[in-house]
């Protein structure tokens, strides 16, 4: 369902739960980047009504997630700082930088894969987080990011046809599995 070619290393759960404050800080910036990427797509591709409709709603939801993460950080006394390097997203964009793709198709594909990996990891946190409140919250995020993944994948299919969209998604999912396998296991969403 999620188009991923690999599962998260089980050791990630221990690392993440060992420093949930760091995971939350990274998560805050993931949500901010998701909102900002969606609004930037709406601005650049305003000629596609389904995209405008879907991604403006998605941006709104990501901003609600920003507020939720920020509130949880506040409860835990975790301060926010500017974002660090986003090596994961950069590696994904570079993986598609082969001149074969269309810029919008590639942006939708990268976003679909990022949503899929976030979703997979929220599901792990929904199972293993230390309190019922956190498990419930991560479950809601899991449901929401799964829907976002489907939205990006379906926009790509509508605009480029199923065959082309799915081929691009499969190609990136394969590269993403390599990127994740090579990356250090750290207390971040990805
Ligand atoms: Fe989100
Ligand atoms: Fe999302």
20: nearest Cα among 137, 110, 116: 137
Identify the CATH number of the domain defined by range 11-78+87-182: 1.20.1260.10
Q: Which residue has the higher pLDDT, 144 or 96?
A: 144
Q: How far is CA 11 from each of CA 98, 115, 134, 136, rounded to the nearest angstrom?
A: 33, 21, 20, 22
Query: What is the per-residue pLDDT across 132-145, written as a single tens digit (0 to 9) for each?
Result: 999 999 999 999 99
Query: What is the per-residue pLDDT across 165-178, written as a single tens digit (0 to 9) for each?
Result: 999 999 999 999 99
pLDDT band at residue 1 using 50, 70 and 90 as cut-offs: low
CA of 48 to the centre of ligand 1 (A): 23
Per-residue pLDDT averaged across 31-42, rounded?
98
CB-based neighbours (< 5 A) of ligand 2, an ion:
34, 115, 145, 148
CA of 143 to the centre of ligand 2 (A): 10
pTM of the prediction? 0.96
Whether the per-residue pLDDT at 2 is higher than 80: the answer is no
């Amino acid at each position: 369902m999620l188009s991923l070619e690999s599962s998260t290393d089980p050791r990630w759960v221990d690392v993440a739960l060992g420093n949930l404050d760091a995971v939350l800080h990274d998560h805050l910036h993931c949500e901010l980047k998701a909102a900002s990427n969606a609004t930037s797509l709406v601005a650049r591709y305003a000629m596609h009504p389904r995209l405008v409709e879907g991604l403006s709603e998605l941006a709104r939801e990501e901003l609600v997630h920003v507020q939720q993460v920020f509130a949880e950080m506040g409860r835990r006394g975790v301060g926010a700082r500017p974002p660090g390097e986003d090596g994961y997203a950069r590696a994904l964009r570079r993986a598609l930088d082969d001149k074969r793709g269309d810029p919008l198709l590639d942006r939708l594909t990268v976003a679909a894969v990022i949503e899929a990996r976030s979703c997979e990891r929220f599901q792990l946190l929904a199972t293993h987080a230390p309190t019922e409140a956190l498990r419930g919250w991560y479950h809601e995020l899991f449901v929401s990011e799964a829907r976002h993944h489907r939205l990006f994948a379906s926009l790509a299919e509508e605009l480029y046809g199923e065959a082309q969209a799915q081929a691009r998604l499969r190609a990136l999912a394969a590269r993403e599995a390599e990127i994740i396998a090579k990356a250090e296991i750290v207390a971040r969403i990805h």
